[in-house]
Amino acid sequence: MPRIVSFLPAATEIACAIGAGDEVVGRSHECDYPAEVQRLPVVSRPALPIETLTQGEIDSAVSTQLASGESLYHVDEILLRDLAPDVVLTQDLCQVCAPSGTELTRALRELPSKPEVLWLTPRTIAEVEQNVRDIGHVTGRDNEASDLIADSRARIDAVQQAVGAAEPRRVVFLEWTDPVFCGGHWVPEMVTLAGGTDPLGQPGGDSRRMSWQDVVDATPDILIVAPCGYGLSASVEAARQLPVISGTAVFAVDANAYFARPGPRLAEGIELLAHLFHPGLFAWPHETQPWSQIPLAT
């Protein structure tokens, strides 16, 4: 069995979902799902004190760090060598999401044995599916990967059958709130599949910075607040800081679980959106409630 080190939470989730969890021997500090991976040694940590900073401070610190040519992550090169991975799962889609580029390349170059490196850069749901296939192939679990894809497609098909004939809800999806960023990559596709339309989204492209006036001018029926990397409670707090748009329903969601990570739970994220957009047509099929409606200020 290959020894896997994952620098990417979505890749860790995929590996576990296809039955290769026991082969993962090291993880990033953000790899926290499923819960059992939290016992694994941590091979990378952020260079910035993200947990203590506001969104605005994070945006400023990240911009300064990148402009100086400094990495956003520290890789534990000694631990990485001791773990002796056969396979490394990482990404080069977003410098903020996980180690990428020079710091990881240097660490891998110093290893006595050269692991196979999968660089995962999905921009659409189809490309997320290809990532599942790639991880299935490298772990010898092609059939399990195909089954996972088929299950996700069946769940998405069920959503479309339920809401496909409904008038799409006008939606603005926010991936960051200070400053404001629209939804990008696979997120606008999720909105569409769930029975919505996001005039500000960037399907298959990078999320982009906007003004609050852009959001107001889009006249959304629904505002989804999903700051990248934030769980539900942090999203709620961010949503409460936003100005009110008259007539717009505001929902904070668990972005970390269902939207920011291009992995197995995207199908559940589409189910979540479908329920928020069309609650009379699609019932939420799970026990947890990973969203909260934000009351309008009075």
Instruction: Indicate whether 298 pLDDT > 50.
Output: no
Residue of 55 and 149 predicted with greater confidence: 149
Structure confidence at residue 62 (pLDDT) = 62
Prediction pTM value: 0.91
Which residues partner with 5 through β-bridges?
A: 26, 88
Residue of 183 and 55 predicted with greater confidence: 183
Structure confidence at residue 112 (pLDDT) = 85
Structure confidence at residue 53 (pLDDT) = 61
Q: Work out the mean pLDDT of the chain and round it to a whole number.
A: 90
What single string gives the DSSP state of each residue in the chain?
Answer: ---EEES-HHHHHHHHHTT-GGGEEEEETT---SGGGGGSPEEEEESS-GGGS-HHHHHHHHHHHHHTT--SEEE-HHHHHHH--SEEEEESS-TTTS--THHHHHHHHTSSS--EEEEE---SHHHHHHHHHHHHHHTT-HHHHHHHHHHHHHHHHHHHHHHTTSPPEEEEEEEEETTEEE-EETHHHHHHHTTEE-TT-EETS---EE-HHHHHHT--SEEEE--TT--HHHHHHHHHTSPP-TT-EEEEE-HHHHTSS-STTHHHHHHHHHHHH-TTT----SS---EEEEPPP-
Instruction: Indicate whether 47 pLDDT > 90.
Output: no
Q: What is the pLDDT of residues 192-205, one digit of tens each?
A: 999 999 999 999 99
Residues 6+ apart with CB under 8 A from 122: 93, 128, 130, 131, 185, 186, 262
Instruction: Indicate whether 69 pLDDT > 60.
Output: no
Instruction: Indicate whether 61 pLDDT > 80.
Output: no
Percentage of the chain exceeding pLDDT 90? 78
Instruction: Indicate whether 136 pLDDT > 80.
Output: yes
Structure confidence at residue 74 (pLDDT) = 81
Instruction: Indicate whether 30 pLDDT > 80.
Output: yes
Structure confidence at residue 48 (pLDDT) = 63
Residue of 30 and 53 predicted with greater confidence: 30
Q: What mean pLDDT do residues 74-97 have?
A: 83
Confidence of residue 59 (pLDDT cuts 50, 70, 90): low
Structure confidence at residue 65 (pLDDT) = 58
Residues 6+ apart with CB under 8 A from 165: none
- Is residue 295 reached through a cis peptide bond, with omega within 30 degrees of 0 on the bond before it? no
Instruction: Indicate whether 247 pLDDT > 70.
Output: yes
Structure confidence at residue 50 (pLDDT) = 60
Strands 73-75 and 196-197: unpaired
Q: Please give the Cα distance from 187 to 294 (Å, whole number).
A: 21
Domains in the chain, please, with CATH?
Answer: 4-121 (3.40.50.1980), 147-294 (3.40.50.1980)
Instruction: Indicate whether 281 pLDDT > 80.
Output: yes
Confidence of residue 104 (pLDDT cuts 50, 70, 90): confident
